[in-house]
């Protein structure tokens, strides 16, 4: 029960942080979402292992890196798609 009480402020902070995503780019949103998801998963695993705070910290870092990498990948795919559409529009029929 003590572990649940110690992770509740972290979970509340993560939930409140999600509401501030309106002005962020897609990559920034994916980075933050990855970080928060990683922190939640890391806290859960860390609680089982005996240190929820360290687990949350490691999970947040890993999630942020994963979210950032995925965001950059999606930007690259979108740029390639838009370039293909622009090239196709310039081709004579």
For 14-65, the pLDDT digits (tens) are 666 666 667 888 999 999 999 999 999 999 999 998 999 999 999 999 999 9
The mean pLDDT of 65-93, rounded to a whole number, is 93
pTM of this prediction? 0.71
What local confidence, expressed as pLDDT, does residue 18 receive?
60
Distances (CA, A) of 51 to 3, 6, 48, 73, 86: 9, 11, 8, 33, 52
- The yes-or-no verdict on residue 7 having pLDDT over 60 is yes
What would the two tokens of residue 72 be?
Answer: 């950059």
What local confidence, expressed as pLDDT, does residue 5 receive?
63
The mean pLDDT of 74-82, rounded to a whole number, is 96
């Amino acid at each position: 029960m003590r572990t649940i009480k110690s992770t509740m402020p972290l979970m509340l902070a993560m939930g409140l942080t999600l509401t501030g995503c309106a002005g962020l780019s897609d990559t920034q949103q994916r980075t933050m979402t990855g970080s928060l998801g990683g922190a939640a998963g890391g806290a859960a695993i860390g609680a089982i292992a005996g240190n929820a705070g360290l687990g949350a910290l490691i999970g947040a870092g890993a999630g942020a890196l994963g979210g950032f990498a995925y965001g950059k990948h999606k930007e690259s795919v979108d740029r390639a798609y838009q370039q293909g559409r622009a090239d196709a529009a310039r081709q004579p029929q």
